[in-house]
Structure formats: structure tokens, C-alpha cells
Amino acid sequence: MAYVVHNYPHCYSIGCEPNREYTKEAIAKIKEKENFYIALVTSQEFLPFLGFAEIQDQKNLFWLDAHGHGFDWPLAFEVEFITYHYNKSFILIDDFQVPGKPQFSYDISTGRECSYQTIKQHIKNGYQVYYPAYTERTSKTMNLVGWGLLVKDWEVPEELKDILC
């Protein structure tokens, strides 16, 4: 959230974090800004109160990153709720398994993989999944971390075709 808040001040960012210490850390990174809100709740509590009716037909970015560390694993609920209620959203899932590319790490929480297999039955309304197509690391010290992008009715822009598959 800190990256978006600092680099896109015209955008309003909202998020939730159920861990009090993580919430304090996040707020400390962006406290001088006014274009954000962080709720101290789980996503299962947060998403139904987001007011989706007002923004369901707008382009929204949902960045799903915490996959159950110390809490019930919310990914299936998040994907189902968002793909059911939002018509034009981009859903970026971090720490996601990239099929056929073992060089990408991914999360396993409470014995479940952060993967398409785990969420496929929860994807509603024609959302498609895209994965990174690149294999080059941007840092010699950092490993590649997988991600998945869920989008509905979207034509991949030409400039992104070499990084998405």
C-alpha cells in the first residue's frame, strides 16, 4: 500500500490488516499522506462493508497479499466475493503459483497452495487468469515470486504482452 500511496497520490487506497503490529507499521510508512485508510479487521469482515454497490462498475485494483498468516486463510472468500460483486476489477494475487515455472516461489498456508487449483471454483463471472511470462530476475539477491492477475473482459495491451501469459 505504501508504494501506491506515495507514487499515486491521486488514487485513494484502502486496505485491511488484522494484525495490530502490521497495521501500525503500515500506517507509520504512510502517515503523512491523506489518500489512504487501513482497517484493523480481516478481509472477510472488511469486504462486505466496502460499499461495493457504489464502485462495482469502476476499475478497481484489489491486491491480495496476506494468505492466512495467523488467521483463517481468506483467499477463496476474497476471490469469490470480488469476482461476484465487481465487474471491472483487476485482482492481483501475490505469492501465487505460476504453472510450469518452478523458478517462481509461492505461498502454502495451512496446507493449501496459493494457486489456481485452490481458487478456480471461487472465480465468478468470466474472470481470466494471467501469469508472468518473464523468467529473468531483477535482482541477484531476490528470488522470483509468483503472482496471478484475474481480469474480466480485458484485452492485454501490446506493451504488456511480453510479460503476461
Global pTM reads 0.85
Q: What is the mean pLDDT of residues 76-97?
A: 91
Res. 100: pLDDT tops 90:
yes
* One-letter identity of residue 15: G
Res. 165: pLDDT tops 80:
no
Is the CB of residue 94 less than 8 Å from the CB of residue 111?
Answer: no
Cell of 141: 539477491
| CA–CA gap between residue 24 and residue 17 (Å, rounded) | 10
Map grid coordinates 498468516 to a residue: 69
Residue 158 has what pLDDT? 79
Residue 92 has what pLDDT? 93
Res. 142: pLDDT tops 90:
no
| CA–CA gap between residue 18 and residue 65 (Å, rounded) | 13
Average pLDDT of the residues of the chain: 86
pLDDT cut 90: percent of the chain above it: 38
pLDDT band (50, 70, 90) for residue 54:
confident
SS (H, E, C) 20-87: HHHHHHHHHHHCCCCCEEEECCCHHHHHHHCCHHHHCCCCCEEEECCCCCCCCCCHHHHHHHHHHHCC
Closest CA to 29 of 61, 6, 55: 6
Residue 71 has what pLDDT? 61
Secondary structure of residue 159 in the 3-state scheme = helix
Q: What is the CA radius of gyration of the chain?
A: 16
More confident residue, 111 or 151: 151
